[in-house]
Structure 1
Amino acid sequence: MPHSTPRIIVLADQIGLRMRQLSRALDQLPADQALNVIAYTLHPDNSLLGSFTQLVETGARVARDQAERGVLAPEVCLALGRAANELHGIGLDLDEHKDTLARAGAPAGTSAARPASPAPLVARRHR
């Protein structure tokens, strides 16, 4: 059964709207609840980030096919491929911290370990 492009565009608009709503709602949550939502949505398995990464990877494959047929410039295909790779890398970076995020979002009084005092923000990036 062929897909209707306008229906898929409407679906993409609805998903974007819901993500914006989620972002606004996240901003209004208490910190522990917000951390739970962040941990859930960024978890590397079956999450919003994983689904978006899969969407960009699919787009990169489609773009590669179209570039090979001469429909798209190769730069478009390469840009989508780089974006898919970067999103995958971001997912791997966040995977290292999924347990910490989950513990930080645990309700008060549970066995979750919380830092005794605030820590200075230090940017550490490695892959």
Structure 2
Amino acid sequence: MPHPTPYPVRLADEITRQLGQLADHLSQLPPHEATQVISRVLGGVTHLVATGSVFAKVQAESGALPAELWLALGRASNELDAIGRDLDQHCETLRHVSAQPATTTVKPPAPAPLVVRRRR
């Protein structure tokens, strides 16, 4: 008799499916809702990766996992945290834009060059 899929694995599958649905809807959301969705999901993913990093560290110390996996998860956790802080800087701008009335303007806004400078 086959073993049933463990609950955490089923939960991960369901979360992955729902993240796919959320990604499909994201482009259709108003800016203020899209920002809320992104920040909430990013926070959850960051927490998951950070927890995975702690797990991988313990397993790497016992020799069950390679240390490179722990280091990679730690780097990913740090990067996600930095991305979250970068996005926090723009929340007020997004709130302001999303609060604007949806009227037609005489002159459309000028496109901005997409040059990103990252602080380190």
Query: Shorter-chain-normalised TM-score: which range?
Result: 0.7 to 0.9
Residue of structure 2 in register with 1:13 after alignment: 13
Residue of structure 2 in register with 1:106 after alignment: 99
Structure 2 distance, partners of 1:107, 1:5, is 48
Residue of structure 2 in register with 1:38 after alignment: 34
Structure 2 distance, partners of 1:69, 1:42, is 36
Instruction: Return the letter of the residue paired with 2:90.
Output: H
RMSD, matched Cα: 2.2
Runs of 5+ unmatched residues, structure 1: 110-114
TM-score, L = length of structure 1: 0.77
**Identical aligned residues as a percent:** 45
Structure 2 distance, partners of 1:37, 1:90, is 18
Q: Which has the larger radius of gyration?
A: 2
Instruction: Return the letter of the residue paired with 2:35.
Output: A
Contact 1:42 1:94 in 2 (8 A): no
TM-score, L = length of structure 2: 0.81
Residue of structure 1 in register with 2:26 after alignment: 26
Residue of structure 2 in register with 1:85 after alignment: 78
Runs of 5+ unmatched residues, structure 2: 103-107
Residue of structure 2 in register with 1:56 after alignment: 49
Contact 1:53 1:87 in 2 (8 A): yes
* 1:106 Cα offset (Å): 2.2
Aligned length: 112
Instruction: Return the letter of the residue paired with 2:9.
Output: I
Runs of 4+ in 1 over 3 A off after TM superposition: 115-118
* 1:26 Cα offset (Å): 1.9
The DSSP-based 3-state class of the residue aligned with 1:120 is coil
Quickly say closer, same or farther: Cα 1:104–1:73, change in 2 above 3 A.
same
Structure 1 distance, partners of 2:38, 2:115, is 21
* 1:37 Cα offset (Å): 2.5
